[in-house]
Amino acid sequence: MPIGIAVLTVSDTRKEQDDKSGQLLVARIKEAGHLLREKKIVPDDVYRIRATVSNWCIDDTIQAIITTGGTGITGRDGTPEAVSALLDKEITGFGETFRIISYEQINTSTIQSRAIAGVINGTFVFCLPGSMNACATAWDKIISFQLDYRTRPCNLVELMPRLLEK
């Protein structure tokens, strides 16, 4: 069951030709049979991030957004702050699971990741670190399964019709 996905790279330095993490996510999305609805690069600016994510969350063709970059702890890293202010619900298990899996690869350096996920206006949003390795780990070990309707015992896709219930 293909779903529409948008990819947002958050970086002050990346351009389309050297956005390896964004390109990796686009390739994985297409390989999985999903529909890439949009891809964009914005600077590490909370308001630019928030504006892009907000606009995509009102687009009926986009059911999931994946951001890459801006989840670290340096001064310009603001993706979690930009996105968390918009969340209707946080999926806390995503960040916890990502850090557990990452620990196997990068040991205690995983504490520097502030990867988060949640739901905004019925749209799933996943905020990943900017490294290719982190994006591959998140997609290959978590997101791809949760965006696959065949994953059992449950997956996020089967919840989509009920996300906007009050």
What domains sit in the chain, N to C, each tagged with a CATH number?
A: 4-159 (3.40.980.10)
* Inter-residue long-range contacts of 16-23, CB under 8 Å, 24+ positions, other chains counted: 16/41, 20/132, 21/68, 21/69, 21/128, 21/130, 21/131, 21/132, 21/134, 21/135, 22/68
| Distance in angstroms (rounded) separating the CA atoms of residues 73 and 52 | 22
pTM: 0.96
Per-residue pLDDT of the chain (166 residues; tens, 9 = 90+): 899 999 999 999 999 999 999 999 999 999 999 999 999 999 999 999 999 999 999 999 999 999 999 999 988 999 999 999 999 999 999 999 999 999 999 999 999 999 999 999 999 999 999 999 999 999 999 999 999 999 999 999 999 988 888 7
